[in-house]
C-alpha cells in the first residue's frame, strides 16, 4: 500500500501518475524537490481509486499532490468511483503557464521545442463525468480520447530502463514554506500551494527521474523497467520545478499553478456533479413562450405566428425571418433604411413589422440556443453537464466546449433549481475587474472608493463623475481601451481622480503596442503577437510600407495594445477567482457530512459542492442546513484570495451572496 513521506509530517509528497502498458498506472512518489521519495508502484486501473483513496487518507498525515498530464482524464474515473483528491499538479496546464510566463522566460522549459506538452486539452469522453449519462451531444463523433491517460498511448517497445533509488526518505525534516505570495497577509498557511522546492539540495542516493541505467547508492538500488510515458512525465515535472525555482518570484508561480490545478479539479468535480436542472420547469417555460414542442426543424406555433405577421407587415410573402439578407431586403422594400438586422439597430426604426421581428428574434434565439434540442443534448437526469475547459482562454479564464455553459441566458435560469432539501448559494464578486485594477496598480484612491461599498457609487462620491452609469461606462472604457463615445469622453475625468490606475492600464497598452509581454498578478503572461504582426510593424518602422500598410500596421499595434491593456486586468481577475474557488473548495471539503435526502452524485451527496463558475460568480449546491455556513465560507475565501494577491494593500472584494432555491431568484 502507498505510504507518504514515511510518516513524516509537513512534507509535500508528489505522486506522479503515468500510464503504463497493460491497463495499469505507475505511481512514483517524489519529494517536493523532485527527488525520489520511495519506490514506484504499479497499479491496475481498476484498483487505482482504492490506492488513491488510501493515500489521501494517510491517517491524518499530509495529503499527496497528484501529478498528472491532464486532470479531466485522470480525475473523472476517480470521481466516478466516489474518490476525491485534495490537490494536484496538472502538468499540461502548468506547462502552458510556465512556457509563456515572463517570470520563467529564460528557463529550459521555455526554450524547449514545442512538444506534446504544448497540445490543447484532450477532448472528454461523453459520460466520463460519471453522475450524469452520456446524452446525445452535438459532435459526439469527434470524441477521441476515451482511455484514462492516453495522450500518447504507451507502446511496449518504448520502454526504457531507469534506476529508481530509494533515497533516505524520512531522514531529513523539510518543513513546508510560508504560504504562496511574497506578501501573504493574513492568508491561512499551507493552502493549495506546493511547498518550497530546494534547488541544489541533493541528498546522496537521489535518482534523477529522467536518468537511465542503474545507480548504486548507500541505501538501496532498484532497477526496473518504465514506460516512455513515465519517463516523459517525470522529466517534464522536473523541468517545471526547475523553471519555478529559477524564476525571480517562485512563490508567485507556485500559487498560480496550485490555483490553476485546483481549478482543473473543480471543473472535473462540477462536471461530475452537474448543475441541478429541472427539465419540467424548463419545458414549461419553453411551452409558455414558444408554444407546444414540435419536431426539430419546425417552428413552434408562437414563432410561426410571428413569422406570418412579419411577412404580412412587410409584404414579403416568402420571407424567412432567420435570414438576415431576406429580412434586410424586405425592410428596404417596406421603405426602411436598415444597414443591418441587429436588434439594437432595428429598435430605432418605426414600422409595424419591427415589433414582431424583434420578438421573433428573441424567441428564436431561445429556441435555437436553449430549446428542447439543447435540453435533450445537455441535460440528463436533472443535471446540466457542460464540458469546462480550464485555462481555455489565454487570460486564465475558463472556456467551455459544447453546451454553452458560459452563456446561460437569464431567460432560462428558472430551471436551475436546488434539489429538495437543498439550496443554491449564488455568489458574485461585485465589480471584480475594476477592484482588481485598483489592486494591481496599487491605486489607493480607487481601492478606497470601493471599500465596503459599490465601487461605482464610490467613484461618484469622489466627484470624478456624476452618476453611477457614468462611473461604470468610464471604468469599462479604461479597462477596454475606449477612445471615442461617452466612455472616451469621460476618461480624462477618471484619469484625474485615479491617475495611478489609469497609468497602469496605459502602460500595459503601450507595452502591447511595442509587442512587449504583459503579465498577470500571479504570473500568467499574454502571448506575443504573431509573425504577421511583427512583419507589419517592421515594414512600417523601415518606412517600406505604403500608406495603407502603414495605417494597417498602426491599427494592429493599437489593437494589440487594447488586448494587453485588458489582459492585465482580466487575467489578474482570473488569478483571483481561481484562488477564491480553490480556497472555497478546501473549506467545503472540510464540512462534516450531513445525511440529507438528495440526488447529488457521490462523493458530494452529503455536503455542499461547487456546481457552477462564471468568471466572477459561483454557485454552490448545498444541504439547506449548511447554506449560511457556505455563504460565510464564500466570503472568507474571497478575503483569502484578496490577501493572497494583494497582501496588506487595503482593498476588499465584497460578494453579493444569495441563498435561493432557483438561480433566477439570485440578486
Partner DNA sequence: CGACCCTGCGCG
Partner DNA sequence: AAAGCGCGCAGGGTCG
Binding residues for DNA, rule: CB under 7 A, are: 138, 320, 322-326, 328, 340-345, 361-362, 365, 367-369, 374, 389, 392-395, 397, 399-404, 406-411, 473, 476-477, 480-488, 559, 562-563, 566-567, 570, 614-617
- Closest to 575 measured CA to CA, from 255, 265, 233, 165: 255
Least Å distance between CB 277 and DNA? 16
Q: Are 104 and 247 in contact (CB under 8 A)?
A: yes
Q: Which is nearer to DNA, 199 or 488 (CB)?
A: 488
- Residue 413 CB, nearest approach to DNA (Å): 8
For DNA, which is the closer residue by CB, 233 or 428?
428
* Strands 379-380 and 399-400, sheet pairing: unpaired
Nearer to DNA, 580 or 604 (CB): 580
Minimum Å gap between C-beta 361 and DNA is 5
Q: Kindly provide the residue ranges of all beta strands, DSSP E only, lying in 196-292, ordered along the sequence.
A: 223-226, 275-276
Q: What is the Cα–Cα distance from 408 to 93, expressed in whole angstroms?
A: 26
Q: Residue 87 or residue 99: which is nearer to DNA going by CB? A: 99
| Whole-angstrom distance, CA of residue 614 vs CA of residue 13 | 32
Of 194, 218, 191, which Cα lies nearest the Cα of 204? 218
Closest CA to 279 of 136, 375, 409: 375
Least gap, CB of 297 to DNA (angstroms): 8
How near is the Cβ of 175 to DNA at its closest, in Å?
40
- How big is the chain by its Cα radius of gyration, in Å? 27
Is the separation of the CB atoms in 413 and 614 below 8 Å? no
Cβ proximity to DNA, 224 vs 342, nearer residue: 342
For residue 426, give every residue at least 6 positions away whose Cβ sits within 8 Å of its Cβ, in sequence order, or none.
617, 618, 619, 657, 658, 659, 660, 663, 666, 667
Nearest approach in angstroms of CB 494 to DNA is 12
Least CB distance to DNA at residue 593 (A): 32
Print the SS3 string covering 296-363. CCCCCHHHHHHHHHHHHHHCCCCCCCCCHHHHHHHHHHCCCCCCCCCHHHHCCCCCCCHHHHHHHHHH
Q: How far is the CB of 597 from DNA (least distance, A)?
A: 31
> Which cell goes with 56?
489521501
| Distance between CA atoms of residues 534 and 539, nearest Å | 9
For 98-167, what is the HEC assignment? HHHCHHHCCCHHHHCCCCHHHCCCCCCCCCCCCCCCCCCCCCHHHCCCCCCCCCCCCCHHHCEEEECCEC
Distance of closest approach, residue 519 Cβ to DNA, in angstroms = 15
- With residue 612 as reference, give the H or E element that holds it: strand 609-613
Query: To the nearest whole angstrom, how small is the minimum distance from the Cβ of residue 632 to DNA?
Result: 22
The minimum distance between CB 414 and DNA, in angstroms, equals 12
Residue 31 or 395 having the CB closest to DNA: 395
Q: With respect to DNA, which residue has the nearer C-beta, 354 or 600?
A: 354
Question: What is the Cα–Cα distance from 415 to 661, expressed in whole angstroms?
Answer: 10
CB of 373 to DNA, least distance (A): 7
By beta-carbon proximity to DNA, the closer residue of 287 and 411 is 411
In whole angstroms, the minimum distance from the beta carbon of 485 to DNA comes to 2
* Residues listed for the chain: 667
Q: How far is CA 345 from the centre of its chain?
A: 34
> Which lies closer to DNA via its Cβ, residue 562 or residue 643?
562
In the complex, minimum distance from the CB of residue 119 to DNA, in angstroms, rounded to a whole number = 16
* CA–CA gap between residue 387 and residue 383 (Å, rounded): 13
Task: For DNA, give the closer residue by CB, 484 or 590.
Answer: 484
Smallest gap from residue 339 Cβ to DNA (A): 7
- In the bound state with DNA, the residue whose beta carbon lies nearer, of 349 and 394, is 394
| SS3 at position 225 | strand
C-alpha cell at position 33:
524537490
In the complex, minimum distance from the CB of residue 663 to DNA, in angstroms, rounded to a whole number: 10
End-to-end CA distance of the chain: 49
CB 197, CB 32: distance < 8 Å: yes
Which residues, 6 or more positions from 48, have their beta carbon under 8 angstroms from its beta carbon? 25, 77, 78
Beta carbon nearer to DNA, 73 or 564:
564
CB atoms within 10 A of CB 383: 24
Helix 228-246 × helix 91-100 angle, to 10°: 40
The closest of 464, 491, 492 to 475, measured between CA atoms, is: 491
- 3-class DSSP assignment, residue 101: coil
For the purposes of burial, counting CB atoms within 10 Å of the CB of 115, is it exposed (0-12), middle (13-18) or buried (19 or more)? exposed
Closer by beta carbon to DNA, 54 or else 328: 328
Grid cell locating 552: 494597417
Q: How many CB atoms lie within 10 A of CB 381?
A: 14
**Angle formed at CA 413 by CA 267 and CA 342, multiple of 5 degrees:** 100
Nearer to DNA, 204 or 485 (CB): 485
- CA distances to 174, 193, 423, 641, 658 from 590, in Å: 25, 17, 19, 18, 22
The answer to whether 459 touches 445, Cβ cutoff 8 Å, is: no
Shorter beta-carbon distance to DNA: residue 403 or 603: 403
Pick the closer one to DNA by CB: 261 or 570: 570
Amino acid at each position: 500500500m502507498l505510504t507518504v513521506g514515511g510518516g513524516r509530517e509537513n512534507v509535500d509528497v508528489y505522486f506522479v501518475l503515468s500510464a503504463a502498458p497493460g491497463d495499469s498506472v505507475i505511481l512514483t512518489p517524489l519529494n517536493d524537490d523532485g527527488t525520489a521519495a520511495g519506490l514506484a508502484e504499479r497499479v491496475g486501473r481498476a484498483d487505482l481509486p482504492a490506492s488513491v483513496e488510501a493515500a489521501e487518507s494517510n491517517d491524518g498525515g499530509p495529503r499527496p499532490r497528484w501529478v498528472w498530464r491532464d486532470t479531466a482524464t485522470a480525475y473523472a474515473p476517480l470521481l466516478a468511483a466516489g474518490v476525491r483528491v485534495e490537490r494536484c499538479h496538472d502538468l499540461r496546464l502548468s506547462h502552458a503557464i510556465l512556457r509563456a510566463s515572463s517570470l520563467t522566460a529564460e528557463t529550459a522549459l521555455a526554450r524547449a521545442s514545442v512538444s506534446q506538452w504544448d497540445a490543447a486539452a484532450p477532448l472528454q469522453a461523453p459520460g466520463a463525468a460519471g453522475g450524469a449519462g452520456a446524452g446525445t451531444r452535438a459532435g459526439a463523433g469527434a470524441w477521441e480520447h476515451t482511455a484514462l491517460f492516453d495522450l500518447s498511448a504507451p507502446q511496449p517497445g518504448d520502454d526504457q530502463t531507469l534506476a529508481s533509488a530509494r533515497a533516505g526518505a524520512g531522514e531529513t525534516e523539510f518543513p513546508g514554506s510560508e504560504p504562496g505570495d511574497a506578501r501573504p497577509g493574513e492568508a491561512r498557511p499551507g493552502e493549495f500551494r506546493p511547498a518550497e522546492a530546494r534547488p541544489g539540495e541533493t541528498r546522496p542516493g537521489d535518482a534523477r527521474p529522467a536518468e537511465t541505467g542503474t545507480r548504486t547508492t548507500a541505501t538501496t538500488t532498484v532497477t526496473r523497467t518504465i514506460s516512455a510515458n513515465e519517463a516523459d512525465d517525470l522529466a517534464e515535472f522536473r523541468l517545471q520545478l526547475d523553471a519555478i525555482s529559477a524564476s525571480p518570484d517562485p512563490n508567485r508561480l507556485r500559487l498560480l499553478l496550485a490555483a490553476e490545478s485546483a481549478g482543473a479539479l473543480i471543473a472535473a468535480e462540477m462536471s461530475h456533479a452537474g448543475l441541478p436542472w429541472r427539465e419540467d420547469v424548463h419545458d414549461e417555460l419553453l411551452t409558455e413562450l414558444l408554444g407546444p414542442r414540435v419536431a426539430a426543424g419546425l417552428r413552434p406555433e408562437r414563432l410561426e405566428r410571428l413569422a406570418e405577421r412579419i411577412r404580412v407587415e412587410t409584404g414579403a410573402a416568402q420571407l424567412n425571418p432567420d435570414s438576415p439578407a431576406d429580412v434586410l431586403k424586405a425592410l428596404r422594400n417596406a421603405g426602411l433604411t436598415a444597414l443591418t438586422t441587429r436588434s439594437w439597430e432595428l429598435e430605432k426604426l418605426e414600422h409595424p413589422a419591427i415589433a414582431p421581428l424583434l420578438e421573433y428574434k428573441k424567441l428564436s434565439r431561445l429556441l435555437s440556443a436553449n430549446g428542447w434540442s439543447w435540453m435533450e443534448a445537455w441535460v440528463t437526469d436533472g443535471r446540466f453537464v457542460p464540458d469546462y475547459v480550464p485555462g481555455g482562454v489565454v487570460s486564465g479564464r475558463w472556456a467551455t466546449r459544447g453546451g454553452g455553459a458560459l452563456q446561460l441566458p437569464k431567460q432560462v435560469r428558472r430551471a436551475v433549481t436546488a434539489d429538495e432539501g437543498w439550496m443554491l448559494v449564488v455568489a458574485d464578486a461585485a465589480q471584480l475587474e475594476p477592484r482588481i485594477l485598483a489592486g494591481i496598480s496599487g491605486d489607493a484612491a480607487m481601492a478606497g472608493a470601493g471599500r465596503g461599498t459599490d465601487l461605482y457609487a464610490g467613484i461618484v462620491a469622489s466627484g470624478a463623475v456624476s452618476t453611477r452609469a457614468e462611473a461604470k461606462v468610464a471604468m469599462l472604457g479604461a479597462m477596454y481601451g475606449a477612445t471615442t463615445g461617452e466612455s472616451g469622453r469621460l476618461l480624462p475625468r477618471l484619469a484625474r481622480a485615479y491617475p495611478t490606475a489609469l497609468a497602469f492600464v496605459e502602460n500595459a497598452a503601450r507595452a502591447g503596442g511595442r509587442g512587449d509581454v504583459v503579465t498577470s498578478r500571479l504570473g500568467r503572461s499574454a502571448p506575443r503577437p504573431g509573425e504577421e504582426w511583427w512583419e507589419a510593424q517592421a515594414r512600417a518602422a523601415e518606412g517600406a510600407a505604403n500608406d495603407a500598410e502603414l495605417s494597417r500596421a498602426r491599427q494592429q499595434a493599437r489593437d494589440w495594445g487594447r488586448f494587453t491593456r485588458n489582459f492585465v486586468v482580466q487575467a489578474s481577475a482570473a488569478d483571483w477567482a481561481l484562488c477564491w474557488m480553490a480556497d472555497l473548495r478546501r473549506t467545503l471539503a472540510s464540512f462534516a457530512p450531513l445525511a440529507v435526502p438528495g440526488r447529488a452524485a457521490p462523493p458530494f451527496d452529503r455536503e455542499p459542492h461547487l456546481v457552477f463558475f462564471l468568471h466572477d460568480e459561483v454557485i454552490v449546491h448545498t444541504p439547506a442546513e449548511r447554506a449560511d455556513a457556505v455563504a460565510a465560507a464564500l466570503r472568507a475565501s474571497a478575503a483569502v484570495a484578496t490577501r493572497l494577491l494583494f497582501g496588506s494593500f487595503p482593498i476588499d472584494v465584497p460578494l453579493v451572496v444569495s441563498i435561493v432555491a432557483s438561480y433566477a431568484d439570485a440578486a
